[in-house]
A and B are shown apart, each in its own frame.
Chain A
């Protein structure tokens, strides 16, 4: 059943190309809702075998080369498809007002979503790679056509970085294929590669995935790409695309090369910790709201890599939980930043601080406070549940890393509070507060009639509420996800005691 998320989304994308533009957003929404509903149903309805990566469908594709159209699902896949559906619905709600070439916009959007579903469900390495690379080009078009600030640079940088990561993954997959003679992930997860081969192939494969997951120092595509992307593009990037890298690292790199992982895990931990602290420190000095969130994404992705590097049950389960959690929170933050930008035409924190937006946009301010709290890791939200699980796991493997990460978490709280204060709760003592319907005093590149302050629309409220509900639900009852994640993680063979 869950395989139909892929088909529905592709079908929706193709429909968008042939139907008139007035229908575009409705088709997109219906498609995304369909995918979300299916992933939700699968999440709750599946029988209890979450630990086993069990086949849904397997038909020969290119039998001469041993490639199969092979989909499978376990607890981790279920979690990831759920966050994909969630983010997709919300992203489409937040781009309800896209007027420029809406059919193409939603087409590319749905291709990203469909490709991501495909990655999370693939059990054949070639199929996995097809879906993985399929996601690259839509991002380019989404950013370069509908983006803002320095979009051509940001789009090209992001695309080339993704493709570079893809090339490394390509080499890794070729190495696997040449050594084991198979591309089937279920078979490969029992195949013993030689230690020597694992030692050189693991870092290539892992680094390829980690580029997409925003590992320091190959993270620089993420902030520029996020800033340049349209709102929905940033939401998908933060919510899904960066998770593709993390998921690939877990499913393919770690699980196929346990010995290579053993050799390199401490270096992964080092890079992850540097990324957490460095990105947080950089975020503290940014004046563009989206740059702040972009760097916060890199910082939070560092937690995922750190959890993976720990390599024990708690660390890895926490990492998967963080993939879900940051998918939701990151998407929410970018959605709100986009909503502010849509109304004020500026993301400069100093400009925003003169506007006291909490008065004119109370709902957005409320949602931003929730998102900020979740991002900082306040108990009760999913961010806390995920990060505490990761740190518990890391404590066993790399105690020093936990201390340094603690510093990073203080920085995260600092920049999040700063961004929240400046963007929504600015100092309006010197300027009269903005009234609803007022033109804004900032000089912007846009100057059209829509540049008026307006409260959140119904679509935005729905989209934000969905994400808020998700982060709260998981934050209050993390067992909901962990019950599905942990059995799957337990079967991974790289796991340390």
Chain B
């Protein structure tokens, strides 16, 4: 294995890394004069293949506008670099695995990061924009590693890289105390969860003597169930439950969603969540797959299904019920995110290719929807200075386009046709219903539907504020066309995937089976 070949296979990661370093350098050179202008580019990739990135380095350019441009181009190139990858390749015993599934989700993560960067473009209040965007790009590399790896150590490294970047991003808004508070909470909870995960993974390693998922599965298939294995599985799952904000490990989510810069919240809710579900699904279905314990409630001996089912049920109930009482849209979205984590887990509980593909489809849709919803929140926040329900009042008269897009996002989250969320839920619940014999997950499907019923109420409350309540505010900021186009594209995607789910579903199904 030559380094050139490695570079070829890891090209997307390398390109994002170069983009991050370039953004950082521009920031150092232009943004913070006198701090450290002598740092040079030292990325593994050759920077010469992207002249556009350096076009923005001219001192005359208004630096605040350049970073997002560079970052977005870097992400676009990285996504393009995923396409020529071979369909199957395994490096270093699974540390870097290239498969249709991984490539598809690399593209999805890069796309979500791309839209996050566009959102970040509008955050004029943030200091040191270059560092902020570099953090987004580093977190994106973490996501790519998470998605592209089937080996425990690499997965952990991916988790940590994403996590650490996100902690910094969350606390980035130094002018607001809530941002620092959110950052601290996120960091404390997050590092605890990481510790749990690492502890759990070490048990698994101790039992099986390997860190690749496929070999773990082989060893576990023969091994009897022992308490140590149970402890390992439970601890690993706890770590991931934190990542996806499943109840009762969701306590950080409301504060982070509300306090962090909007683009950070969008990224946590979309990219980070999608990648976490992909890797959780792999660990659970590939690594722990042969451990006894099936989707059939009555036949359940032990194993992870019961834990996931309990997490799902709790998340659906707590998320939806607490969201009812929220007056702040970001907090409301946070609790609804908890509920959606619950729905998405239902697919993993159902297991099998059908359940896994349903989970992947749903989490992708959810990521797209939330980036869009946070995009609207960001614009409203910039205009009104807040993101309470009352700040959304009269949005219809102020911007019919944004109001219409928000309606699409909210109704898709509620699961109404013809939007993507409806198809996602149908697919998810039908997979769960069909799993196991004798409809073992019937109760979970009923619970999830009951949760959807509750959720419709609070989504309609948001829409009521937008479409019915009056407000005499006017736009204070000049309209940002790029962000509006981005939000419209996202809303269009949600509608399109609702009408033509086959376009995404066929790819996911082809890569899972």
**Cβ B416 vs Cβ A145 within 8 A:** no
Query: A171 touching B446 by the CB < 8 A rule?
Result: yes
Please tell me if the beta carbons of B467 and A133 are within 8 angstroms of each other in the complex: no
Question: Are A64 and B505 touching (Cβ within 8 A)?
Answer: yes
The verdict on B209 contacting chain A, using a C-beta distance below 8 Å, is no
A-B contacts counted at CB < 8 A amount to: 70
Residues 24-64 of A, flagged 1 when their CB comes within 8 A of B and 0 if not, give 00000000000000000000000000000000000001111
Query: Using a CB-CB cutoff of 8 Å, which residues 114-148 of chain A contact chain B?
Result: 126, 129-131, 133-134, 136-137, 140-141, 144-145
* A164 touches B (CB below 8 Å): yes
In the complex the two chains form, is A145's CB within 8 Å of B460's CB? Answer: no
Which residues of A lie under 8 Å from residue B457 when comparing CB positions? 156, 160
B262 to chain A, nearest CB (A): 27
B430 touches A136 (CB 8 A): no
Q: Which residues of A contact B429 (CB under 8 A)?
A: 170, 174
Are B433 and A167 in contact, with the CB atoms below 8 A? no
The distance in angstroms between the C-alpha atoms of A170 and B432, with both chains bound, is 13
Asked if B62 lies at the interface with its beta carbon under 8 angstroms from chain A, I say: no
Q: A171-B449, A174-B429 are in contact. Are A134 and B502 (CB under 8 A)?
A: no
B460 touches A178 (CB 8 A): no
B54 within 8 A of A: no
Q: How far is the CB of A51 from chain B (nearest CB, A)?
A: 30
Q: Is the interface of A mostly helix, strand, loop or mixed?
A: helix
Would A130 and B422 count as touching, CB distance under 8 A? Answer: yes
A19 within 8 A of B: no
A395 beta carbon closer than 8 Å to chain B: no
Tell me if A133 and B417 are in contact (CB < 8 A): yes
| Number of chain B interface residues as a range | 20 to 34
Q: A171-B446, A178-B434 are in contact. Are A126 and B502 (CB under 8 A)?
A: no
Task: Please pick, from A61, A130, A145, A159, the residue contacting B468 in the complex, using a CB distance under 8 A.
Answer: A145
**How many Å lie between the Cα of A25 and that of B453 in the bound state?**
34
Tell me the bound Cα distance from A160 to B505 in angstroms: 30
Asked if B417 contacts A130 (CB within 8 A), the reply is yes
The residue from A61, A133, A167 contacting B453, defined by CB atoms under 8 A apart: A167
* Pairwise interchain contact B460-A140, C-beta atoms closer than 8 A: yes
- When chains A and B are docked, how far (Å) is the Cα of A466 from the Cα of B453? 38
Known contacts A64-B502, A177-B430, A133 near B452 by CB under 8 Å: no
| B450 lies within 8 A of chain A by Cβ | yes
Residues 476-504 (chain B) with a chain A CB within 8 angstroms: 501-502
A156 engages B460 (CB within 8 Å): yes
Q: Tell me the complex Cα distance, A134–B418, Å.
A: 7
Query: For the complex, what is the distance from the CA of A129 to the CA of B449, rounded to whole Å?
Result: 15
Expressed in whole angstroms, the Cα–Cα distance for A164 and B416 within the complex equals 13
Question: Do A159 and B460 contact each other (CB < 8 Å), given the known contacts A136-B416, A145-B468, A171-B446?
Answer: yes
A262 interface hit (Cβ, 8 Å) = no
Smallest CB separation, B469 vs chain A (Å): 11
Residues of B within 8 A of A133 (CB): 416-417, 422
- Contact of A178 with B430 in the complex, beta carbons under 8 Å: yes
Contact A63 B502 (CB under 8 A): yes
Check A175 for interface membership: any CB of B closer than 8 A.
yes
> Could you tell me which residues of chain B, from 435 to 480, have a CB within 8 Å of some CB in chain A?
439, 445-446, 449-450, 452-453, 456-457, 460, 464, 467-468
Cβ of A163 < 8 Å from any Cβ of B? Answer: yes
Contacts of B446 in A (CB 8 A): 171
A144 interface neighbour in B418, B456, B464, Cβ under 8 Å:
B464
Instruction: Digitize B410-436: 1 where CB-to-A-CB distance is under 8 Å, 0 elsewhere.
Output: 010000111000110011011001100
Asked if A442 CB lies within 8 Å of chain B CBs, one says no
Interface hub of A61, A156, A163 (most chain B Cβ within 10 A): A163
Contacts known (A159-B460, A163-B456, A174-B445); A134 close to B417, Cβ less than 8 A: yes
Given A64-B506, A129-B426, 20 additional A-B pairs, CB 8 A: A63-B502, A64-B502, A64-B509, A65-B427, A65-B505, A130-B418, A131-B417, A133-B417, A134-B417, A134-B418, A141-B467, A145-B467, A156-B457, A159-B456, A160-B457, A170-B429, A171-B449, A175-B439, A177-B430, A178-B430
Contact surface of B with A, Cβ cutoff 8 Å? 411, 416-418, 422-423, 426-427, 429-430, 433-434, 439, 445-446, 449-450, 452-453, 456-457, 460, 464, 467-468, 501-502, 505-506, 509
What are 20 A-B contacts with C-beta separation under 8 Å?
A: A62-B423, A63-B502, A64-B506, A65-B430, A129-B417, A130-B422, A133-B417, A134-B417, A137-B411, A141-B467, A152-B464, A159-B456, A159-B460, A160-B453, A163-B453, A167-B449, A170-B426, A171-B449, A175-B439, A178-B439
